[in-house]
Each structure stands twice: as structure tokens, then as C-alpha cells.
Structure 1
């Protein structure tokens, strides 16, 4: 969720809104630090800090604060087990803030940073009971900063080749998930008239160029209308060594393709890394929506592996480039 865009739009339409943020976490908790909810003046909300009694409690606090208008921020410090009966057992601090149209200019740089995509850091400090935020790139650990927040959306790039039944189902399945999808097909009128916000539909001219220009951490899915085209795209993707390359098809299709990949000189390791058939194991239903759900789960697994690998990398620790 684009927190600041959502907050800004609600303020512009309704005059006021509240922001609930997970400020600090000790031990086990339903959500991580910097999870957010945006609460409307009528009590409706967007996002979640994990549900359950904690969320109900803080929503009531935010609604009550909104009744009294824009005011000082509040920290809610809760032990989840003894205080709320939640079995997570940790302790959380929740920051609750109210905003109105007077805050739109201050919010604008954060909205712009979100719109650029990716993650960004914000330096925060309390001034007269309210939180003052500055983009870390501008503030560079601003004097008086008391804590840092991370905002934005960390979306993993996906190249989806093919706009057939499964491709369409998959584009919908990935819509609410943390992916940025480049959806490719070489046929006229292959795409539906409307696509999800995180999907860019592209009339493909050169699959080789798409593979060559893709980010190294991209996840590749191949399900075109043409087997030779599937072969060419998959071979190029395996050659580049993306963290996930998935090809729709049966075990017999994989065997035929593997033979050709060996003839092309692809290594045994690269060929073995191919996901074909696609999707997690144990699901036999071939309905497009079921295949899409299974593949979406597999992509989430690949995304998690990539994040763990980056966190273990010496470069991630040292900050060297």
C-alpha cells in the first residue's frame, strides 16, 4: 500500500485522516516495524497491523482522536500476551497520528517519493507533540532525528510472457502481491482492456531484448502461444541466470526442451534450475485460476529466497558497491 498517497488522497477528499504505524517491535508480533494503516474520518480503514485485539484497540483510539481533530501524536505501548490475550507474546509500540489539510504540503514530498517506486528512508523527530519527517536523502541524518522509518513498496520485477488463459489468471493473481509485472505478448489485441495497477502490458517486439534488459533479480514466466517462442525465451532466460525461470508445460515438454537446451550448450545446473511444470507441488487441478494461485505461491517463495540471499551477502552488510 502506498501509505502517503492514500493518506493524502483521503485528506483531500474528506478533510482528515489518521495514520497508524508499527513503531517498534520486541519479540513475536503480528506485523513488522513500519507496517501501516490509514483510517478515514468515518472509521473505515486501509491496510493492517495484523488484526486481532491489538488492531481493534488502536482503531478505536484513532477514531476517537479523529473526533477531536488534528492533535498530538500518541504512542500505544502494548504487551500482546498479558494485555490483550494474543498468543504472539511480544510487545509493540504503535504510533497514532491525525492529519488534516494543513499537512498536505508536508506530506507532498513523501507522496512523490512513493510514486517513484522502491523503498526510501525518512528521518523523524517530535516537534510540539507531532512527528516531523524529512526524506533521509535530503536530511542525511537530520539534527535532532530520533528515529528512522522505511516507506515505499519493495516490488520484485516479474516478466510474464504470454496473455493466454493462464497468463490472464496470473496477472490477476499477482495484483495484490509485492510484484511489478511486465506482461508481454506479440499478438494484436492479446490483452484485456483493463489490467491491474502493478501490471504493464507490452506488445512484444523482441523477446531477446526483453530478457537482455531485465533486472538481474527478475522472475521469469514463459507461457506463450508458440512452443518455439517458449523455447527461445526460456533458453535466453536460463543463460542469463535469473533467480527463477518458470515454463508452463508437462514433464514431457520439459524433457524435449532439456534435450534442446543441452544442444545449445546450457550447463546442467542452469537446466536443472528451470521450474517446469510450474507451481508448487501437490496441486493437480489445471484450471487457469488454480494454476495461477499455485504459481503465485511459487513466486513468493522465490522472492523470499532472494531477500534471504541479499541479507546474507557481504555487500549487503558492508554497503560496498
Structure 2
């Protein structure tokens, strides 16, 4: 998935940047098609996985940057070429990025020629579906062209509480590119001195009133220092609407909350949408263990409701290679 904002920021910071993307995967591989990384003279960001694969890809990307060459397409059998245990092969595309060649900010897909050919009909159809119908294409390497979906809108996740578990959870979720994390607590000093990059800290005296700022499709993780505040937030979330909600606590706490929320006028079917205890209690009560279980459950919920990219029609192998 092509992240225009990330590429633009890297170009602004480092000048010359190469991008390496896994265009195709056959058999077992460390990462999926679409995984990518940006490489510059003395650093990189992102990952295509695989240890030796990534090291070699970064080395070749820097060689390409130094030479100022055009796109490079290479198919790598992971076992024979790199001695990796994966039995599959990956096709890597490496390009030197140019600010002028980046897609428009609103473009739902990004297609460009790698070998200078006219745009094939299948690429035109994939772009038409993306623009006209909102159907994201799968990463597709066809007839010398690479097609990628651009970054989709990120799922809004609101963390309520900046205690030990809240801090662990913010740290786990912050690196994930498909999430927009907002972190709420009652005062600035409740947050750590350094908030993870990409996380928006929102100190407010009355967090329950801030629920009105959250999108109706947000995912809420409620874990404050106060049972009374937790209850107020559950009440506000039920009134506001949400994609999913989880509450930290025991079965006893949840039984009391269910009764109280019912007395506040919420239907039991709606109350039951709040998961409590959330995450995976079998992992233990250490803040990081709780955060891992909560994050895993959250990602499963988001994946279940996120449309998958649409693959193009099957193309004979000889046509793909032209």
C-alpha cells in the first residue's frame, strides 16, 4: 500500500529516497505483497522482513540511489539466493522516488510504468474501479506497470486512560500504520513526557464530554484510574455510538456496570457490545500482557470489518512478463 504522505516526508527530510516494495509473492515469504520500505543514504524506514532479504534489498536500493538509475525489478528465490528457510520467492520493485511523480493526495490508487510501456487496459480498469467505485486494487505487477492502493483512511482508536496499561497500549498501537490513535486523560501530567509518534494526546478535565469528539465509527478502549469515570465513559459511548468498545475490569465489575447502564436506559443488547474483560485475560495482568491481548483483539475486529483489496483478473504468465 503506497503511503504518499510518508514518501513526501522522507523526500523532504533526506532529499534522495528509494522505495522497495514486494510486488509479488510465490509460496512462503516473510511479508505479504505490498509491504515496503524507504531507503536513503544513511537510514531507512519500514520493513519488508526477512533479515537477509531486507539487508540485500537496502544495499541494492542505495546502489540505485548512488547511480541515479531507473526502476529495478528482481525476482528472488529466498532459499537458493539467500539461504532463508522460507520456501517461496518474492519479486521486488525498487524505485528512486521523485516528488513530482507522487500521486495526488486524494488518489485511491497509484500506477506507474516501470519499463516505459503504454498503460495496459487492465491497469486502466483497475484505476477506473478505484476512482469510480472506491474498490481498492490489490498490488499488481502487470505488463511493466505496478499498481498499488494508496493508504486508506485509518481506523480511529480512542484510548481512555494514561496509566500503566494505557501507556503500554499506546506504545503497542502507535507503530501500526492503519490506526489513528487518540489518547485521553484528565490532565497533561497524566501522560508520559514523550507521547509515541503518531498518537494524539488529548488532556481534558471531563473525558466523558470528549466522547462527542470521537467519530461514531471509533474503537474505544476504556481503562482509566476511576471506576466512576469508566462508567461515565461507557454511558457516553453507548449514547454516541461506536464500532467497538472494550472495558478493563473483572466479571464482577462488569456485572455491576451492566446493571447500572441498564438503569441509565441502555438496551441490554447494546450494553453487551462492550467487551469486559477485554483482550485475553489468560495472558496475565502485567500491563504489557494486557496491552498485547487488547491490541490483538482490536486488530481482529478491525480486520473483520475492513474491505479487502480486489485482485485483478488472472493474467497468463507470458502476458505479465511482456
Tell me if both proteins adopt one fold, taking TM over 0.5 as the criterion: yes
Q: Please tell me whether residue 95 in structure 1 is matched to residue 93 in structure 2.
A: yes
Deviations 1:92-126 (A, max 9, x none): 32111235xxx33334x66xx3xx8xx84112124
Q: 1:277, 1:52 → 2: CA distance?
A: 37
Deviations 1:19-52 (A, max 9, x none): 111122344432222221112224x422111224
1:8 offset after TM fit, Å? 4.7
* Partner of residue 111 from structure 2, selected from 123, 126, 145: 123
> What secondary structure, in the 3-state scheme, does the structure 2 residue paired with 1:66 have?
helix
Q: 2:39, 2:188 → 1: CA distance?
A: 43
Q: What's the counterpart of residue 105 of structure 1? A: 100
Q: 1:53 to 1:167 in 2, by over 3 A?
A: closer
1:16 offset after TM fit, Å? 2.7
Question: Does the aligned pair in 2 maintain the 1:77–1:92 contact within 8 Å?
Answer: yes
Q: What's the counterpart of residue 78 of structure 1? A: 76
Q: 2:308, 2:265 → 1: CA distance?
A: 32
> What secondary structure, in the 3-state scheme, does the structure 2 residue paired with 1:217 have?
coil
Q: What's the counterpart of residue 170 of structure 2? A: 171
Taking structure 1 as the reference length, the TM-score comes to 0.74
Q: 1:177 to 1:8 in 2, by over 3 A?
A: closer
What does 1:1-321 correspond to in 2, within 5 Å?
4=4, 7-8=7-8, 11-12=11-12, 14-42=14-42, 44-67=43-66, 69-81=67-79, 83-99=81-97, 103-107=98-102, 113=105, 120-126=108-114, 146-152=145-151, 155-178=154-177, 179-187=179-187, 189-204=189-204, 207=207, 210-238=210-238, 242-285=242-285, 287-307=286-306, 310-311=307-308
Question: Does the aligned pair in 2 maintain the 1:72–1:128 contact within 8 Å?
Answer: no
1:83 offset after TM fit, Å? 4.7
1:302 offset after TM fit, Å? 2.4
Taking structure 2 as the reference length, the TM-score comes to 0.74
Deviations 1:215-250 (A, max 9, x none): 343111122333233212213324555332111222
> What secondary structure, in the 3-state scheme, does the structure 2 residue paired with 1:197 have?
coil
Q: 1:124 to 1:209 in 2, by over 3 A?
A: farther
Question: Does the aligned pair in 1 maintain the 2:115–2:145 contact within 8 Å?
Answer: no
Q: 1:199, 1:10 → 2: CA distance?
A: 19
> What secondary structure, in the 3-state scheme, does the structure 2 residue paired with 1:39 have?
strand
Q: 1:31 to 1:216 in 2, by over 3 A?
A: farther
> What secondary structure, in the 3-state scheme, does the structure 1 residue paired with 2:151 have?
strand
Q: Which moved more, 1:296-305 or 1:11-20?
A: 11-20
Question: Does the aligned pair in 2 maintain the 1:182–1:201 contact within 8 Å?
Answer: yes
Q: What's the counterpart of residue 139 of structure 2? A: none
Consecutive unaligned residues of structure 2, counting only runs of 5 or more, are 120-126, 133-142, 312-322
Deviations 1:273-304 (A, max 9, x none): 3222233131223x434433332233223222
1:182 offset after TM fit, Å? 1.5
1:11 offset after TM fit, Å? 4.8
Number of residue-to-residue matches in the alignment: 292
Q: 1:3, 1:126 → 2: CA distance?
A: 19
1:75 offset after TM fit, Å? 0.4
Question: Does the aligned pair in 1 maintain the 2:114–2:146 contact within 8 Å?
Answer: no
